[in-house]
Structure 1
Amino acid sequence: MKTNIKTYLALALFLTAFAIPSSAQVRNRTKTTTTRTVVKKIPGRVSSKKVVYRTPTKKVVSVRTVPNRTVIKHNEQDYYYSNNKFYTSSRGRYIAIAPKIGFRIKSLPPNYHRVQFNNHIYFNVGGTFYRESNSYYEVVEPEIGTIVDDLPDGYEKVTIDGLTYYEYANTLYEKIQINGTRAYEVVGVIDME
């Protein structure tokens, strides 16, 4: 009986030694989460002198004719609208331009996207924002914070104070994530000087 008790006691000590790790062998691992707060100044209105374009000179493309054009008068100057693009005339040729704030068209092209922000409804056509006004659609600046799914063709990467943004028609965008999907938020407007 004494032998059985010794055997059971030795077996219990042996199992206890393996079941309970000693403090010399255990390393407490705690998961540390580091949260970094990056203070990024939203540009707002930015002087064109502070904007550095990745491609310093933009190739100007002109065409000889603009088919089915509509004449748009703005600040006593003629501009032309055709196939969702705006043009100005120079030396007998037509140069595609970004639309100026205040340009008005009678109907939107079929590829517009409806964007709602701060109880305003915008119509985005290829990076140009319109608002309905007196049976016309007028080109307007989007509000800071407006979010779009894609950037328009012809956008450019720019740097302002060492930070990278995307620019189209003097509107600055920043790439963001919404529910794991890439989107772009309007963060500023370039004031031409």
Structure 2
Amino acid sequence: MNFSKKNHKHKKTNNYLVSKSIIKTSVLALLFLMAFATEVSGQSKRSSTTTTTVKKKTPVKKTIPTKKVSRTKVTYKKPTKKVVSVRSVPNKKVISHNGQKYYYGNNKFYTYSSGRYIAIAPKIGFRISTLPSNYKTIRYNNFNYYNVGGIFYTRINNQYEVVDPEIGTIVSELPDGYEKVEIDNQTYYEYANILYEKVQVDGTRAYEVVGIIDMD
């Protein structure tokens, strides 16, 4: 009888130990699963944050690859250009260049035809001794240009000569009389055979020289 009681007590102890071991194992497994779930959740959050980060994109420029652009590749949006002409130019100055006479007044250059003075842009190489009063200085690549109504001058000795600006030169606004043109299905702005495209400089709209129309 005593042996039976001892044996029963021993079995009870073993059952207790087994149950305790099972509980311990279950608790450890549960803690492991909780830790794993927490790590997965953290990784998921980090992954979500990375994929939703929005970076400021730099717009792809459509800059013309070469400086000189054949006139045959340029299509003007308007079939005709508005011609500005006047009957007289008060206090005009006469300047000759390569056999052509220019008449300067009202901060513009004119040519004379059929009794009227027609506003024109002076050609490359044209020189004057004094800049018009409305010029603006534009610095690019440590070089000064003098811009007068869309015409670029550079100083040579004691004179100012009309030149083509370098590609990349920036102006804050387009000159009066500019035209919209299309080259390879892309829109640009043209004045005096200089091609521009619209850009942003420090959040402000500006225009960059991207090419020169070759008239030959």
Task: Work out whether the TM-score is over 0.5.
Answer: yes
Alignment RMSD: 2.8
Are the aligned partners of 2:193 and 2:213 in contact in 1 as well (CA < 8 Å)? yes
Instruction: Name 1:90's counterpart in structure 2.
Output: 113
45, 67, 72: which is aligned to 1:44? 67
Gaps of 5+ in 2: 1-30
121, 124, 149: which is aligned to 2:144? 121
1:75-154 alignment runs, 5 A limit:
75-154=98-177
Q: Which structure exhibits the higher relative contact order, with contacts defined as CA atoms closer than 8 Å and separated by 6 or more residues?
A: 1
Are the aligned partners of 2:67 and 2:167 in contact in 1 as well (CA < 8 Å)? yes
Tell me the SS of whatever aligns to 1:68.
coil
Alpha-carbon distance in structure 2 between the residues aligned to 1:131 and 1:82: 21
Greater than 6 Å deviation, 4+ residue runs: 34-37
Q: CA deviation at 1:96?
A: 0.6
Instruction: Name 1:159's counterpart in structure 2.
Output: 182
1:65-116, CA deviations, whole angstroms, 9 ceiling, x for partnerless residues? 1111111111112121112211111122211111211222222233221111
Alpha-carbon distance in structure 2 between the residues aligned to 1:138 and 1:127: 14
**What is the TM-score normalised by the length of structure 1?**
0.79
Q: CA deviation at 1:62?
A: 2.2
Residue correspondences, number: 177
Alpha-carbon distance in structure 1 between the residues aligned to 2:190 and 2:58: 27
Alpha-carbon distance in structure 2 between the residues aligned to 1:81 and 1:42: 36
* Residue 52 (structure 2) pairs with residue 31 (structure 1): yes
Alpha-carbon distance in structure 1 between the residues aligned to 2:204 and 2:85: 37
Instruction: Name 1:6's counterpart in structure 2.
Output: none
Gaps of 5+ in 1: 1-12
45, 61, 70: which is aligned to 2:84? 61
Letter in 2 for 1:46: V
**What is the TM-score normalised by the length of structure 2?**
0.71
Alpha-carbon distance in structure 1 between the residues aligned to 2:94 and 2:119: 14
Are the aligned partners of 1:72 and 1:103 in contact in 2 as well (CA < 8 Å)? no
Q: CA deviation at 1:37?
A: 8.2
Letter in 2 for 1:130: Y
Letter in 2 for 1:139: V
Bigger proportion of residues as helix:
2
1:169-188 alignment runs, 5 A limit:
169-188=192-211
Bigger proportion of residues as strand:
1
